[in-house]
A and B are shown apart, each in its own frame.
Chain A
Amino acid sequence: MSIRGSWFFSLLLAGVVVCNTGFIAPYFDFVYPHYFPEPVYDIDQSPLTDEKILLGRVLFYDPVLSKDSSISCASCHSPYNAFAHTDHDLSHGIDDQIGKRNAPALFNLAWQRQFMWDGAISHLDFQSLAPISDPLEMGETISHVVEKLNGQPRYKQLFNRAFGEEKATGETVLKALAQFQLTLVSSGSKYDKVRRGEAEFTNQELTGYRLFQKNCNACHAEPLFSTYGFANNGLPIDDSLNDAGRKGITKQQNDDRLFKIPSLRNLSYTFPYMHDGRFRKLREVLRHYNEGVETSATLSPEMKTIEKLDARQQVDLIAFLLTLNDEKFVFEPSNKFPKSILLPTSK
């Protein structure tokens, strides 16, 4: 190889290296408080970029993901409700069909290993497959979604910018949706400000916090306010639904009526509560823990050490729980409907 040839070749190689490492395209900085644990989603394997996040956000709000283009992810996961479906015990999908479970709020997903109330989904990338394919929800198939997207000029440019390829694949649709959802980090509540030394609890909130730490922390562990494991908290069976929870997936008897422990953040925005939305008010939830717990073979051991709270204690506890609301998160503009892309001609 001549000297001139090798100079050219090495510059070419340098160019290839620079482009492939994304040195030119900036990475999105995934930030979280120092007191949060390390995320469990392998971000190094799928680094976040602005283009992938934007594509994921557009897909999240685009009803083209559903069979008749009437239902988008945001239909049941609304940004104003911390990405839950306020005021709906069970959500409704295409053709006004009512589903089987309450739509969970979407935030702090990077710290969760399993998704859905029964942990059916093994990785955030795969979660959107479930509602996309459920006949009561979006009634579609991922193959057909990919086909539809590849027929829309707006997506050619979005996929090209995000993945360097105009054509969408199952993998890139799921990865883009996951990337947007990973950015939904909720860590701006009053509790967080107290943790960062920027605010102080009132006496009532502090009393509530102590009650929380004594009775609730085992399952709803701070700072995420859930261990994201599975528990049976003694909810009596609703025989109009007969939901066996995790047992439906693992088929193991000791998973009967175990459900994923939800986070207690953003409770004001995400009522009604529990896997079937049976409690509309937090005082109903506390009444359940006081007097409504049904013993069964699979009742979680943590439930046996909860103390009964009197009326005053319940008020204090709720005062603390309200400090977990993150108003900044629900009003965050970069999480919202991407009007300039999905409705470009509207004012």
Chain B
Amino acid sequence: MRYATSLLVFLIVLSEAVTAQEIDTLKLSFRLKNGSKDVCIASSKDGNKMDGNRMEPKIEVLKCYISKVQLWDAEKMVYAESNSFHLLDAEEQGSLAWSLSIPAGLHFSTIQFHVGIDSATNVAGAFGGDLDPTKGMFWTWQSGYINFKLEGTAMECPARNNYFQFHIGGYQGPFASIQTVRLPASKSEHISIVLDASKVLDQIDLGKEYQIMSPSERSLAFAKLLPTLFSSAP
């Protein structure tokens, strides 16, 4: 018993020595935009009334998984966030920013992350937090995370209530849709990234493509456009 307690004391002292290394806090934040405007989800839906002046699509739902956040210095990875799974949700302001604890004075030139959840995590069982299936981002009838969810209305969309729905996922075989994004980043206190949904909506004809609800060639084609949504904020 005395040996065990001494061992514990030793471990505490040791852990204090280890954590004495300096840590900096790096804030990572995302701004969700639709063209020049910030995405603003109205708390009550306006039904299918279209503002006569509004020619561009209106976004009702925007949710996106960001995972495996890493910092790179040229060709070398210098930091990897642990338990790196975050759900950006336009309806939850608190979901759009978090802190990374990085070694003090770390030099990096690039930030890298995945849009979506990797295949190993898709088959590893139920998880909580941002990966909890109650977040509405996990398919029930077929397993797999929805990597990116975009819904809204557009005048040219022929669906019921002009409502388009893109649920982009799939981790298996030819339709594996996770994407990697690399952006220049060097500020040591705050990395700010813009996610501009209009970049993908501009590349799609909403009159023809407005409903993707399962892994397929079309969902894969859509997924390949996702890295173009992201850019470093000035």
Contacts and interface: CB of A to CB of B under 8 A. Distances in A.
Interface stretch (B2-10, B87-95, B156-164): B2-10
Residue of B11, B123, B140 most packed against chain A (CB within 10 A): B140
Interface stretch (B78-86, B131-139, B193-201): B131-139
Given A123-B123, A123-B124, A174-B126, A13 B141 contact: no
Nearest to A122: B143
17 contacts: A7-B5, A9-B12, A10-B9, A13-B12, A14-B8, A45-B125, A121-B142, A123-B125, A126-B125, A126-B138, A126-B143, A129-B138, A132-B140, A133-B141, A134-B141, A169-B132, A171-B128
A123 B143 contact: yes
Interface string A121-141: 111111001101110000000
B124 A142 contact: no
Interface string B212-224: 0001100000000
Interface residues of B, number: 31
Contacts of B11: 13
Interface of A: 6-7, 9-11, 13-14, 42, 45-46, 113, 120-126, 129-130, 132-134, 142-143, 146, 169-172, 174-175, 178, 249-252
Nearest to B131: A171
A126 B142 CA distance: 9
A171 B133 contact: yes
Contacts of B140: 129-130, 132-134, 142
Interface of B: 4-5, 8-9, 11-12, 122-128, 131-136, 138, 140-144, 172-175, 215-216
A41 to B, nearest CB: 8
Contact of A170 (B123, B124, B126, B141): B126
A143 B141 contact: no
Contact of A120 (B8, B123, B136, B141): B141
A125 B175 CA distance: 23
A164 to B, nearest CB: 13
Contacts of B138: 126, 129
A134 B139 CA distance: 11
B128 A122 contact: no
B125 to A, nearest CB: 4
Contacts of A129: 133, 138, 140, 143
Contacts of A142: 133-134, 140
Contacts of A13: 8, 11-12
Contacts of A252: 173-174
Contacts of A174: 126, 133
B132 A171 contact: yes
A175 B125 contact: yes
Contacts of B126: 123, 125-126, 170-171, 174-175, 178
Give the one of A7, A124, A174 with max B CB within 10 A: A174
Given A120-B143, A124-B125, 7 more contacts: A45-B124, A126-B126, A126-B133, A143-B134, A143-B136, A169-B134, A175-B126
